[in-house]
Amino acid sequence: MFHKEGHKIIFITLVTVVAACLLVDNFVSINWLRTLILIGLVIFLVLILQFFRNPRRHTALNDNHVVSPVDGKVVVIEEVFEKEYFNEKRLQVSIFMSPLNVHVTRYPISGKVIFSKYHPGKYLVAWHPKASEENERTTVVVENSTYGKVLHRQIAGALAKRIVNYAKVNEKAEQGSDSGFIKFGSRVDVFLPLDTNIKVTLNQKVRGGESVIAQLNE
């Protein structure tokens, strides 16, 4: 199953690879070189298909939990001052996605979308200290009566050249459902209340829509 954001790119890539394979097969007479090029073209197609895959995820809906919005590795857990929306201290959990990860962004909680904004910007590497403020990014805030407000921010990286955001203000968000997609990129930050109980550790691998990254303190 492939994400709708990849349908056009997959089609163009498939046509290009098939055409290239036919040309190579007809015009490259050196066996080892022809084989090498054909293998390279097939690998390229497989990588594109893998990048846009959209596996089904089984989200256990729970208003006391925050699930990971993306697949990847936890690279930041710290208290920070969030100045775009909250203008106060929050717990930040950042998840880095490699080109091999699923790049679908999912809502970390259910509720109402109360803020959604796109920012054009640079394409610094995702782990750069200023990436969250200077790179192309989108900020989405979802609120529910149990958890309050949770902000997640898609951040483009050195390879990411387009962020897709589906969140619209006043729309209902369902935990684990599609919130957007980052094409060839790269990081998502989640900003949580200070009294949140973080359930992940640095360098832990998480699955979007399934891994619980935080829960309310009882």
pTM of the full predicted structure?
Answer: 0.83
35 & 74 share domain: no
149 & 90 share domain: yes
Q: Is residue 130 part of a domain?
A: yes
Contacts of 210 (CB under 8 A, 6+ apart): 57, 58, 59, 60, 67, 68, 176
178 & 154 share domain: yes
Q: Is residue 76 part of a domain?
A: yes
Give the domain range for residue 25: 4-51
Domain count for the chain, please give it.
2
127 & 21 share domain: no
18 & 98 share domain: no
Q: Which residues are catalytic?
A: 186
| Paired strand residues for 91 | 79, 192
Q: Is residue 57 part of a domain?
A: no
Q: Which of 199, 200, 78, 180 is nearest to 136 (CA)?
A: 180
18 & 69 share domain: no
Contacts of 96 (CB under 8 A, 6+ apart): 72, 73, 75, 126, 127, 186, 187
Q: Is residue 59 part of a domain?
A: no
pLDDT tens, residue by residue, 125-184: 655 556 566 678 899 999 998 889 999 999 886 555 578 899 999 999 999 999 998 876
- Average confidence score pLDDT of the chain: 87
